[in-house]
Amino acid sequence: MSILDSFILSYNEKFDRKVPEFDEDLLGFIEKTKYLLLDEKMSPSVELRERLSGLHVRAREPMKVAITGQFSSGKSTFLNALLSKNILPTGITPVTSKVNYIRYGDELKIRVHYIDGRDEYQSVEHIARFTDQRSTVEEIEYLTLYAPLELLREITFVDTPGLNSQDNSDTTTTEKVLKEVDGILWLSLMDNAGKLSEAETLAKYLDQYQGKSLCVLNQKDKFSYTQVEQSVSYVKQSFSEFFSEVVPISAMQALKSRSHDKSLLADEELDRFMRTLSTDIKADTLENISLMYEKYQKNVDEILSTDLSKNLNLLEESNIQSVLDFIDEHIRPVATSSKEFAIRRDINQICNKLIDQQRIFLKIYDELALELREFEAEADEIFAQLKGKFSKQLQNAYSKIEEIIEVIAEDIYDHIITSERIRYTEKKSRLLKSSISYLPVEYKVSKIASDVIYKRLFFDDDVVGKMFKKYVKNLKEIQHEVNDNNALVYDMLKKRIRGWQSPYELIQKQDSVHSSMEFANIRKFASKAYENILRPFSDEIHASYAKISSEFNHLSSAVSFNYQNATQVSIAFLEQKIEQSISLYEQDPTQFTLFVPKLDEIRDRLGISFHLYELQNMMSTKNTFLSKNYDRLMSEFKMINEERDAFIEQRKARHKRVVEILERHIE
């Protein structure tokens, strides 16, 4: 198994934990989503946690029904009638200037939500102070009214500002609410229904909500049966594209008829008593409190003994139950399926955003890997060119050494002189065999005028010294050019990586659900491009620099510091060979000849003394030390690239795995 495979396997094992069984319903789907997306390995953002918690709350919360219409249509009275309780302030002047959410709560109270994020709870008696458009309420965003009413366990009502408000912000707020709710109750006064102003408002704001909208015509108690039927028929025909149904009601009759429920009236009486008690308890004596309680008990007794059958008839005549039936029969089924569809859609959108986030990271790593691959190909091409270029320059430098040796060889050859010597040979007498005489024989021997050579080559003229200085200078120039070019190759990589690095050092998440931690990790990774990517290349370039410098220093010192000694050693060798040949020749001239150094022999001897074979291997073959260095550089860069690629794939493996998990979750 490769290193990369082991990395990927390691990441898969981390993410492939066994997912628990969840219910198949909506809440089960949400719980599974939270289990997967909020795992610490996903580095979830605070915003993602809040979104999923919000969806969880939304799945459990009752359906939302908006009460809307034009100003002065009696929305607050109508809503009080639906709740069978006078909660919202009513009057001739239009008062609702903020969105009011009416929710179930254990006690009657209001929660004021301010634009700056503050929340505060207030007694319900103060609601008018926060909703009346005649008051200064610009700092308030919306209100939530909590009431312990059974109806609110299943329905949250949303009381909205009118759609014909002179304040554009009110209209904008109402329009936004209409998109979010499950049902819409459009309230219109019976004598105002179908007027041009209302038709224009409906066409502008309600043309897309026909499937969840009910038109409620209020104040039917002020008109005859025939007038009511005519109004209903007209609205049905004229505005069928806006409403599923049209229902005539009397909110005032419904509100009055709440007294048909004795238990409700008794509860209201208890509420009044408790409010009075809490207000006056500090000022009143114990005797007065006892009198208040007796009055409360008397009122309750009267309620329980009263015949309330007329109020039941009034409730039926108000037709308010038709509104509740519409909510239950038309809005509720659609709301349930719509809510599930919307929540599943939102979860899919969240998952797709998280997938997009992972793909951003994968793209970043892919761009980095591409930069490294393109650099490797470019570096190989450049190194190959440099290898050929500097191999030729080394061969030329080697030729300079050969030229120097040739100069020395020719100078030695030119200063080989001859001198005469006499040897004596035996000569026997013909007469007297025992008599021996010696005859002198002249012969010429070679001699190297070394003093003259040294003086010309190394001292007076310093011919060789000057040539070697040029040779060393040339080597230095080659050395610097090699290292400079190698550094340029590294700079080329550094430029590529910094070009990749620049936009990602400051990258920020592109959506609130994206992981702040993940983007911080990407910024950190990009900012540490040297440690993560460049350092091994830099180390290799520096190692190459040191090795190349060492080799060039060797080439310089091997000959430039030793050329005089090498010449002297060569001359001494030749002189010794001359003397040896003389000795042998004198012993037996018939067997041995006198040695006279030839130019080739001098040249060869100098080559040995100058270690020319070693220099030739380093400088003038296909496998020079620079060729080896470039081959090694290309090999090392390739290996480093493979390691960096494995490192990048290791980081990508986690993001790929997250994408797989998310895609499988939303299939």
Check pLDDT > 60 for residue 436: yes
Of the candidates 156, 146, 157, 135, which has an alpha carbon nearest to the alpha carbon of residue 76? 157
Q: Do 275 and 414 reside in the same domain of the chain?
A: no
For residues 271 and 256, state if they share a domain: no
pLDDT of residue 422: 87
Which residue in 82, 65, 68 sits closest to 250, CA to CA?
Answer: 82
Distances from the Cα of 107 to the Cα of 90, 123, 160, 278, angstroms = 22, 10, 23, 15
Residue 392 confidence (pLDDT) above 80 = yes
Indicate whether 244 and 279 sit together in one domain: no
- Tokens in use for 667? 């299939």
- In this prediction, residue 8 carries a pLDDT of 47
Q: How many CA atoms lie within 13 A of 278 on its CB side?
A: 6
Q: Would you state the pLDDT for residue 94?
A: 44
- Evaluated on CA atoms 494, 498, 499, 504, the torsion sign reads positive
571: pLDDT strictly greater than 80: yes
Confidence band (pLDDT; 50, 70, 90) for 196? confident
Tell me the average pLDDT of the chain.
84
CA distance 472 to 401: 10
Average pLDDT over every residue of 24-52? 92
What's the pLDDT band for 126 if we cut at 50, 70, 90? confident
In one-letter notation, the amino acid at residue 530 is Y
Mean pLDDT of 396-401: 91
Least confident of 15-19, 46-50, 444-448, 603-607: 15-19
pLDDT of residue 258: 63
Q: What's the pLDDT at 339?
A: 81
Q: By percentage, how much of the chain surpasses pLDDT 90?
A: 45
Q: Rounded to whole angstroms, what are the CA distances from 532 to 172, 222, 245?
A: 52, 82, 67
Whether 332 is covered by a domain: the verdict is: no
Report the Cα–Cα distance between both ends of the chain, in Å, rounded: 32
Same domain (yes/no): 92, 22: no
pLDDT of 163: 67
Q: Is the pLDDT of residue 92 over 80?
A: no
Residues 2-11: pLDDT tens digits? 444 554 455 5
Mean pLDDT of 260-281: 64
Find the helix or strand (DSSP H, E) in which 223 lies: none
Residues 110, 130 contacting (CB under 8 angstroms)? yes
Query: 13 and 119 share a domain?
Result: no
Q: Look at residue 579 in the predicted model and tell me its pLDDT.
A: 93
Mean pLDDT of 410-435: 79
Q: Which residues contact 281 (CB under 8 A, 6 or more apart)?
A: 289
pLDDT, position 3? 46
The yes-or-no verdict on residue 134 having pLDDT over 90 is no
Do both 270 and 239 map to the same domain? no
Please report the DSSP string for 579-601 in residue order. HHHHHHHHH-TTT-------HHH
| Assigned token pair, 281 | 């308890």
d(CA 14, CA 660): 14
Range of 18-27, 228-237, 368-377 with top mean pLDDT:
368-377
In this predicted structure, which of 8-22, 431-445, 608-622 has the lowest mean pLDDT? 8-22
Structure tokens at 240: 């069928």
The better pLDDT of the pair 153, 507 is held by: 507
| H helices, E strands: number in the chain | 23, 11
Q: To 10 degrees, the CA torsion angle through 191, 197, 200, 204?
A: -100
Whichever domain contains 176, its CATH number is: 3.40.50.300
501 and 526 Cβ atoms separated by less than 8 Å: yes
Residue 55 lies in a domain: no
Confidence at residue 287, expressed as pLDDT on a 0 to 100 scale = 62
Q: What phi, psi does 185 have (nearest 5°)? A: -105, 105
Pick the range with the lowest mean pLDDT from 64-68, 292-296, 578-582, 647-651. Answer: 292-296
Would you state the structure tokens that stand for residue 498, as one six-digit string?
């910094």
- 3-class SS shares of the chain: helix, strand, coil, % to 5: 65, 10, 20
Helix (H) or strand (E) holding 345: helix 332-414
Distance of CA 180 to the CA centre of its chain: 32
Q: What does the alpha-carbon distance between residue 508 and residue 497 come to, in Å, rounded to a whole number?
A: 20
Flag whether 537 is in a domain: yes
pLDDT score recorded for residue 376:
95
Looking at the domain assignment, is residue 339 inside a domain? no
Question: Based on the domain organization, do 69 and 86 belong to the same domain?
Answer: yes
Evaluate whether 262 touches 308 at the Cβ level (below 8 Å): yes
Kindly state whether residues 101 and 249 are assigned to the same domain. yes
Q: Is the pLDDT of residue 264 over 70?
A: no
Opening angle at CA 625, ends 621 and 627, nearest 5: 75
- The pair of three-digit structure tokens given for residue 85, joined into one six-digit string: 């309780």
Amino acid at 158: V
Same domain, 249 and 185: yes
**With 70 as the cut, is the pLDDT of residue 319 above it?**
yes
pLDDT above 50 for 603? yes
Co-location of 152 and 266 in the same domain = no
Residue whose pair of structure tokens reads 């080739």 in the numeric block: 600
Residues 251, 358: contact at Cβ < 8 Å?
A: no
Overall average pLDDT of the 20-29 stretch: 90
Quote the pLDDT of residue 1.
46
Sign of CA dihedral 121, 124, 128, 129: negative
DSSP annotation of 19 reads: P
pLDDT band at 19 (very low <50, low <70, confident <90, very high): confident
Determine the Cα angle at 429 with ends 426 and 434, to 5°.
85
Better-predicted residue by pLDDT, 288 or 391:
391
pLDDT of residue 50: 93
3-state secondary structure of 308: coil
pLDDT tens-digit map of 297-310: 777 776 666 655 66
Residue 508 belongs to a domain: yes
> Does residue 493 contact residue 499 with C-beta atoms inside 8 Å?
no
Contacts of 293 (CB under 8 A, 6+ apart): 273
Residues 363-377 pLDDT 10s: 999 999 999 999 999
Which helix H or strand E contains 141, and what residues bound it?
Answer: strand 140-147
Q: Is residue 54 in some structural domain?
A: no
Is residue 194 predicted with pLDDT exceeding 80? no
What pLDDT does residue 283 have? 54
217-to-103, 212, 322, 451 alpha-carbon distances in Å: 25, 17, 12, 134
Number of structural domains (the chain) is 4
Range of the domain at 292: 262-307
Mean pLDDT of 50-70: 88
Residue of higher predicted confidence among 389 and 262:
389
pLDDT in tens, 577-595: 999 999 999 888 889 999 9
Q: 446 and 298 in one domain? A: no
End-of-domain residue from the set 276, 307, 338? 307
Averaged over 91-119, what is the pLDDT? 78
- Candidate from 71-85, 120-134, 341-355, 507-521 with smallest mean pLDDT: 120-134
The answer to whether position 51 is within a domain reads no
Summarize the confidence of residues 9-35 as an average pLDDT.
Answer: 77
| Residues 560, 416 share a domain | yes
Lowest mean pLDDT among 229-238, 271-280, 414-423, 502-511: 271-280
CB 426 within 8 A of CB 436: yes
Q: Is residue 622 domain-resident?
A: yes
**Whole-angstrom Cα distance, residue 311 to residue 332?**
28
Strands across the sheet containing 109-114: 119-122, 109-114, 140-147, 99-104, 155-159, 63-69, 183-189, 213-218, 245-248
